[in-house]
Amino acid sequence: MSTSLPTGFSDAAETLERVWSDEAKRGDETVTFSRQPLCDQLIDVFQQCSQPGWDGAGSDAVERATLEIAWHFLRSLPTAYRTAAISGEPDGHINLEWYVHPRRILTVSINPNGILHWAALIGAEDPRGSCPFYGEAPRTLLYWIGRVCNA
Partner 1 sequence: MIDVDHIPPVADDELLARFIVNSNEFRQDGTVRPKLFMPYSLVDLSVNRHRDCTEREIWDVGYSVAETRQRTLYGRADIVASSSRIAPLDVVPDPLLPANPNHAEITRFPPAKEDQQALAVKLAAAASKRLGPPDC
- Please report whether residue 47 would count as binding partner 1 according to CB under 8 A: no
62 is a site residue for partner 1 (CB under 8 A): no
Which of 130, 136, 143, 151 touches partner 1 (CB under 8 A)? 130
Rounded to the nearest whole angstrom, what is the least distance from the CB of residue 21 to partner 1 in the complex? 29
- Rounded to an integer, what distance in angstroms lies between the CA atom of residue 150 and that of residue 147? 6
Are β-strands 94-101 and 104-110 bridged in parallel, bridged antiparallel, or unpaired? antiparallel
**Applying CB under 8 A, does 42 fall inside the site for partner 1?**
no
Residues that bind partner 1 (CB under 8 A): 55-58, 85, 87-91, 93, 95, 97, 99, 101-103, 105, 107, 109, 111, 117-121, 126, 128-130
